[in-house]
Each structure stands twice: as structure tokens, then as C-alpha cells.
Structure 1
Amino acid sequence: MSDQTSTAPQSRLAKALDSDFFYSFRRSPVAVVSFIVVMLLVLSAVFAPLIAPYDPFDPGSLDLMNGFTAPMAPNDFTGDVFWLGTDDQGRDVFSTILYGMRVSLFVGLAAVSFAMILGITLGLVAGYVGGWVETLIMRAADVQLTFPSILVAMLIFGIAKGVIPIKHHDQMAIWVLIIAIGLSDWVQFARVVRGATLVEKDKEYVQAARMMGRGRGIIMLRHILPNVLSPVLVIATISLALAIIAEATLSFLGVGAPPTQPSLGTLIRIGQDFLFSGEWWIILFPSVTLLALALSVNLLGDWLRDALNPRLQ
């Protein structure tokens, strides 16, 4: 009995490694490199307190005398050396990037999750129920598509900031940012799920579930939803890169993450103020990190789209 239980996980692992999906992954150098880059950046952000040599947001550990120290060059006053230099407040740029990635990744993942849940729910309801419900949901989606997502996010962010008391702005800024980006990106999930639901709801297994007396909610969640998730996962991966860029854009414009919880976009905005005074490293390294993260996630999503496309099998 113990031999069977010990060999079962190994057989499932071997089956996964021999699958067409994993074979396609191994045969794609772009996917492999993108996955490695994403994992390195994600793990660096998750374990930032262990990796970062300094806590950049602890006021007690800052030394203004270390300000504007060039990368790998000793400071003129303290003699300290920093890998990627320091900013105007003497914060280690390498440490600020690690902590800033945590905010960017958290906002991106949370916003995409919110948009995915909202879009899947509305898409299932629109495709399965039909009638005036479908018309109302899809017309709202069409209206939102006429506006750029970043403008919709800025509008929602501005309205929320006006409703929330000023003393709670910094505490609620990250959550408001997540809701704003999520509400601006639900449309693509809803349209794809609605189209797939229209195809699935007339198939035999759905009709059999109706004849068995299953309710609408059970049919949508337990029967239709598992069969429409493949394109949703692809959209979610690509949307993650777009959400990270949207967060960086909003923070760069000064309507995103607060200075007390700076993201990569906030660090880029701070670095822009000193670009023409010669302190190029303050903006360069956060920008390269954001580019590497967004590009790797986007390339991984492109590969996932091709790998899950049955027409290319």
C-alpha cells in the first residue's frame, strides 16, 4: 500500500514532464528565458527583507550624507559603497527596487484577479442568461471600450480619492489603485467568457445537467466555467503585464502608490527629477527592472496563448 502511494506522485510528475505542454515549453527558448527572469524577479521581491542590504523605508537607517552616491563608488563623506547607488535621501537604489517590485507585483496580481473574477462572473451571466441582462452587460462593456483603460483607471482613482477622507488617503491608496485598474480591465474577460459560454451552453452535457434539475448557478460554475478557463488564463497572463505598466503609469503621474509605499513607477518619477542633473542611476535601474518584468510576463503570455491554441497543435 505504501509503495503505491509513493509511486503515484512520481507517475503524475513524469506524466506532466512528458506532456505536450511541457515539451512546447522546453522547445521555446523565449518562454524558458522569460520564465527564469520572471521567477528571479518575483522571488527577489518576495524575499526582499532577506536580500536587500538596507531597509530603504526605515527613516532611522537613512543617512542624508549618502545621498547621490554613484553605483559602486565610495561616498565622498561616509565612504560607503552601494551596488546601484543611492537617491537624494541616501536610500540604497537596489533595496528600493526590491521593495518597489513588491508593491508593483501585488497591485498587478490583485488588480488582474479582481478584473478576472468580475469579468468571468459577468461573462457567464451574459452568455448563459441572455436577454436584457446580456444586453445591459455588453452595452456597458462597449461603452467602456470607447475610453482608454488608463483614463478609466484615473477617473475611478480620482472619484475614490474624493470620497475617502484625506487622512486615509495613504492607507487606502494601494487598494484604490487595485480597484481602479481592475474595473478598467474586466471587459476583455467578460467578452471572451461570454463568447465561449454561448458555444458551451448548447452542448449535450449542459442539456443533460438541465434535465437533471441543476440550477443555473451550478451549471455555470461546475459545468461551463471549467471549459472556458483556457483563454481566460492566457488573457490573465498578458493582463498582468499591462496592469503592472498601468500601475507604473499612474504612480509616475502622481496618482498611484504613495511615497510611503513607493512602487517602481514612483521610483521612476523620483528619478526623473534628477535625470538632467547627472544622477542617471536613480531612474535607469528602476526603469530597466520594470521593462524586464513587463516584457518577460508579456512574452510568457504570448507563448501560453500559442501553447493552448488547439489550431496550432
Structure 2
Amino acid sequence: MTDTPIETPAAKAPPKTAFGRFLDSDFFYSFRKSPVAVTSFGVTVLLILSAIFAPLIAPTNPFDPASLNLMNGFTAPMTPNAFTGETFLLGTDDQGRDVFSTILYGMRISLFVGAAAVAFAMVLGIALGLLAGYVGGWTETIIMRVADVQLTFPSILVAMLIFGIAKGVTPIEYRDQMAIWVLIVAIGLSDWVQFARVVRGATLVEKGKDYVQAARLIGRRPVPIMVRHILPNVLSPVLVIATISLALAIIAEATLSFLGVGAPPTQPSLGTLIRIGQGFLFSGEWWILFFPALTLLALALSVNLLGDWLRDALNPKLR
């Protein structure tokens, strides 16, 4: 009589974590297979981390008057200064500030203004879009006609107009302190329209579906329906627009600062540094303009390319 082996049930695999499911998702697979997405994501993260940790990376604080030495002014990149003998990676500007340090600190202002302006425009646009799409009637008409009128003007002109009005009503002693926040509001108010139009169109589709009708039947009020039921289903296109808008907001901030109506001289951004360098371009000090402009180009291009890939990855028609 032979003994037959007793089969034991196979042990169940432990459930995957949220991060594990993300690594196995089609979204991450599409990301790994796209060299443009990987490169743009790497450049974006590198620049953001460099700005965040600027006090630890920058050789000096370029906006601390005690650390400046006018004798170091107009030092070319990787060239010893004729008077002090000091060498700077990307050279110095007219005040002897290290260009590499000014770029790191200036990028902090550009990223903060861009991110805050997009967040403000996104919140405002989503709220007005949900309201217009769900309520309809005169509310929708008024909101969308205001959006249509604003679309007839270039966003940079709208931002300049709002910035000028807000700065005019701000007391003189607080203008430099409030300049960054006024800049955020100006850019945000000039960019809310695209969020509102997309959310309004998606809301018109979603409010006719069964789950919204069921929520109405059980007595849900309009605001909870819009926030808890409709909003999660319209966020995908909003995230794509927000990513692309971040690049546009950074460029808008740089444009305003270049024109002298943006960040104050005490808190210079990349646009302010480019404006300063433009005055010395034809006198031979090309690096004062070139390196801040190259940084702005790399930042805006990488964020824009990442947004383009995100738009394609979240589009179900392209899967």
C-alpha cells in the first residue's frame, strides 16, 4: 500500500499595495516606454529640487548685501577674477553676484508664482465651471459670456491690467511686500477661463448620468452632488490643463518681470534676471542673460512636454 501525497492548497499571494498596483498600471507602463516623458520628468524634478534646496546648494546667498563684493563684478564663467582671484561656475553679474546662485534663488520665485497662480486659477475655474454646468440658466450664461469676453484679449495683457489695478490700490509702503501675491492673483485671474470651459462641458455630460439622478432622488443637495459626485469624474482633463498651464504661468511671470511689472528687484525671478542681463548682452557679458534664459527654457519646455504626454496618456481614445 503506497502513501499518496496530500496536496496542500497554494498560499495566496499577498494583496498588492497601492504603489505596487501603480507600478503595474498601464499609466506607468506608458510612462516608462516614453523617452520624452522620462526625460522631461527628470529635468522637471531636478530643477524643482534645486530650487527647493537652493540655500544648501548655492555657494552664496546672492540677495544678502553682506556677501556681495563689487570687485567680483562681470567675472566670466570658470575664469579667475582679475582682482580677487575667485572663480565662479557661471560667472557673476554687475553687482558681483554669483549667477548660479541667482538662478537657483530666482527659480524659487518663478516656480512659486507659477504653481500658486495655477492653483488659484484651477480652484476658481473649477468652481465656476461646476456652477455653470450644473445650475445652467442665467448663471451659466453670465459666467460663460464673461469667459468669452476675456478670451478675446491676450492673457498677458489681462494679467498686466489686473496687476496694474491691484498695485495701484495697494499702499505704497506695502507694494514690494505684496508684489508677489498681486502677481499670483493677476496671472490666476487671466487663466481661469480654460479650466471653467472644460469643467462646464464635462459637468453637462455627467449631470445627466444615472448616479447623479440617483443622488438627487435620495435628497442630496446640489453642492454635495457637485463636489462629491461630479467633481471626481471631471478631474482628469483638469490635471492635464494644470500641468500645461504651469509652464504658461511660469512664462507669463517671466514676461511680466522682464517688462518690469512683475517681481520686485528685492525678490528677482528668472524674468527679472533676464531683464538685468539683457542690458549687458551687447557689451560682452553674455552669460548674465544666457544662463537664466537657458534655465527658463529648460523648465518651461520640460513641464510643457510632460503635460503633452499626460494629455495623451489620460486620453481613452488613444489607448
TM range (shorter): over 0.9
What is the deviation of 1:46? 0.2
Shift of 1:86: 0.2
User: Which has the larger helix fraction?
Assistant: 1
Displacement of 1:165 in angstroms is 1.1
The one-letter code of the counterpart of 1:234 is V
1:109-146 CA-to-partner distances (Å, cap 9, x unmatched) read 00000000000000000000000000000000000000
Match of 1:207 in 2: 213
Match of 1:246 among 240, 252, 257: 252
**How far did residue 10 of structure 1 move?**
5.5
- Any idea what SS the aligned residue of 1:74 has? coil
* AA partner of residue 282 (structure 1): I
Report the counterpart of residue 283 of structure 1 in structure 2.
289
Deviations 1:8-55 (A, max 9, x none): 796322211010000000010000000000000000000000000000
Q: Which runs of 5+ in 2 are unaligned?
A: 1-12
Q: Does 1:187 pair with 2:193?
A: yes
- Equivalent residue for 2:237? 231
Q: Provide the rounded CA distance (Å) in 1 between the counterparts of 2:172 and 2:49.
A: 35
Matched, 1:91 2:97: yes
Aligned counterparts, 1:39-118, within 5 A: 39-118=45-124
Alpha-carbon displacement from aligned partner over 1:189-225 (angstroms, at most 9, x marks no partner) = 0000000000000100000000010000000000000
User: Structure 1's 99 and 310: CA in aligned 2 closer, same or farther, altered over 3 A?
Assistant: same
1:146 corresponding residue in structure 2? 152
Q: Report the Cα distance in structure 2 between the residues aligned to 1:155 and 1:258, rounded to whole angstroms.
A: 17
Instruction: Pick one of 33, 58, 62 that aligns with 1:27.
Output: 33
Determine helix, strand or coil for the equivalent of 1:193.
Answer: helix
Deviation at 1:166, TM superposition (A): 1.2
How far apart are the structure 1 equivalents of 2:206 and 2:194?
Answer: 19
Output one character per residue of 1:96-116: Cα deviation in whole Å (capped at 9) or x when no partner. 000000000000000000000
Query: TM-score, normalising length from structure 1?
Result: 0.97
Letter in 2 for 1:296: S
Q: What is the distance in 2 between the residues matched to 1:9 and 1:79?
A: 62
How many aligned positions are there? 307
- What is the alpha-carbon distance in structure 1 between the residues aligned to residue 239 and residue 76 of structure 2? 42
State the one-letter code of the partner of 2:229: H
Secondary structure (helix, strand or coil) at the match of 2:17 reads helix
Distance across 2 between alignment mates of 1:212 and 1:252: 55
Cα distance between partner residues in 2 of 1:93 and 1:291: 16
- For residues 132 and 161 of structure 1, the distance between their equivalents in structure 2, rounded to whole angstroms, comes to 33
State the TM-score, normalized to the length of structure 2. 0.95
Q: State which of 272, 297, 300 in structure 1 corresponds to 2:306.
A: 300
1:29-83: per-residue Cα shift (whole Å, max 9, x none)? 0000000000000000000000000000000010000000000000000000000
Aligned to 1:4: none
CA distance in 1, matches of 2:175, 2:271: 18
Match in the other structure for 1:17: 23
Q: Matches of 2:284 and 2:155 in 1, distance apart?
A: 34
Bigger Rg over Cα: 2
* C-alpha deviation, 1:167, in angstroms: 1.3
Question: How far apart in 2 are the matches of 1:16 and 1:240?
Answer: 25
Distance across 2 between alignment mates of 1:269 and 1:8: 58
Distance, in Å, in 1 between the alignment partners of 2:158 and 2:261 is 13
Structure 1 match to 2:3: none
Partner Cα distance (1:83, 1:62) in 2: 16
